Amino acid sequence: MMCMGTSSHVGKSILATALCRIFYRQGKRVVPFKAQNMALNSYVTRDGGEMGRAQVAQAEAAGLEPMVDMNPVLLKPTGNSCSQVVIMGKPVGNMSAREYHNGYSLKAFEAVKEALLRLEKEYDIIVIEGAGSPAEVNLKANDIVNMRVAKHLNAPVLLIADIDRGGALASLVGTLELLDEDERALVKGLIINKFRGDVSLLTPAIDFLEEKTGKPVLGIIPHIEKMGIDDEDSVSLQEKAFAREKADIQIAVIQTPKISNFTDFDALSNEADVSLYYVKETSEFGEPDIVILPGSKNTVEDMRYLAESGLKALIKQHSNHGKAVIGICGGYQMLGREIRDPYHSESESNGTEGLALLDIITVFAQDKLTNQVKADCNNLCFMGQKINARGLAGYEIHMGKTEFLGKNDSHPFIIKERSRQLCQAVEGTVCADGTVFGTYIHGIFDNDEFRRQVINSVRIRKGLLALPNTRNVLAEKQRNYERLADIVEQHLDMVKLKTIMGENDL
The rounded mean pLDDT for the chain is: 94
> What's the confidence (pLDDT) of residue 236?
60
Query: Residue 439: beta bridge partners?
Result: 328
Cα(79)–Cα(105) distance, integer angstroms: 19
pLDDT tens-digit series, residues 151-167: 999 999 999 999 998 89
Task: Please check the confidence at residue 425 and state whether its pLDDT lies above 70.
Answer: yes
Name the catalytic one among 3, 82, 329, 381.
329
Q: How large is the average pLDDT for residues 422-446?
A: 97
Cα(127)–Cα(31) distance, integer angstroms: 6
> What's the confidence (pLDDT) of residue 241?
55
Determine whether 3 is an active site residue: no
Cα(187)–Cα(103) distance, integer angstroms: 29
Cα(234)–Cα(106) distance, integer angstroms: 26
Yes or no: say if 36 and 254 are a contact pair by the CB < 8 Å rule.
no
Percent share of the chain, pLDDT over 90? 86
> What's the confidence (pLDDT) of residue 232?
60
> What's the confidence (pLDDT) of residue 102?
87
Q: Where does the pLDDT of residue 503 fall: very low under 50, low under 70, confident under 90, or very high at 90 and above?
A: low
Cα(220)–Cα(490) distance, integer angstroms: 10
Q: Cβ contacts of residue 252 below 8 Å, gap of 6+? A: 276, 277, 278, 279, 285, 286, 288, 290, 291, 292
Task: Please check the confidence at residue 230 and state whether its pLDDT lies above 80.
Answer: no
Cα(136)–Cα(155) distance, integer angstroms: 20
> What's the confidence (pLDDT) of residue 240?
60
pLDDT tens-digit series, residues 296-351: 999 999 999 999 999 999 999 999 999 999 999 999 999 999 999 998 887 788 99
> What's the confidence (pLDDT) of residue 495?
94
Cα(386)–Cα(410) distance, integer angstroms: 12
pLDDT tens-digit series, residues 260-274: 999 999 999 999 999
What pTM was computed for the model?
0.91
> What's the confidence (pLDDT) of residue 139?
87
> What's the confidence (pLDDT) of residue 345?
81
Cα(327)–Cα(264) distance, integer angstroms: 11
Query: Residue 437: beta bridge partners?
Result: 326, 430
Cα 14 to chain center, whole Å? 13
Q: How many CB atoms lie within 10 A of CB 482?
A: 13
For 340, the 3-state DSSP assignment is strand
Task: Please check the confidence at residue 237 and state whether its pLDDT lies above 70.
Answer: no
Cα(89)–Cα(83) distance, integer angstroms: 15
Task: Please check the confidence at residue 506 and state whether its pLDDT lies above 50.
Answer: no
> What's the confidence (pLDDT) of residue 107?
93
Q: How large is the average pLDDT for residues 132-145?
A: 92
Residues in the chain: 506
Determine whether 329 is an active site residue: yes
Cα(7)–Cα(167) distance, integer angstroms: 11
Question: What Cα–Cα distance (Å) separates residue 489 from each residue in 15, 19, 74, 220, 245?
Answer: 10, 8, 30, 11, 34
Yes or no: say if 273 and 467 are a contact pair by the CB < 8 Å rule.
yes
- Judging by DSSP bridges, how do beta strands 187-195 and 157-162 pair with one another? parallel
> What's the confidence (pLDDT) of residue 504?
42
> What's the confidence (pLDDT) of residue 373?
97
Task: Please check the confidence at residue 505 and state whether its pLDDT lies above 90.
Answer: no
Task: Please check the confidence at residue 234 and state whether its pLDDT lies above 80.
Answer: no
> What's the confidence (pLDDT) of residue 238?
62
Q: How large is the average pLDDT for residues 99-111?
A: 93
Residue 60, amino acid: E
Q: How large is the average pLDDT for residues 77-92?
A: 89
Yes or no: say if 316 and 357 are a contact pair by the CB < 8 Å rule.
yes
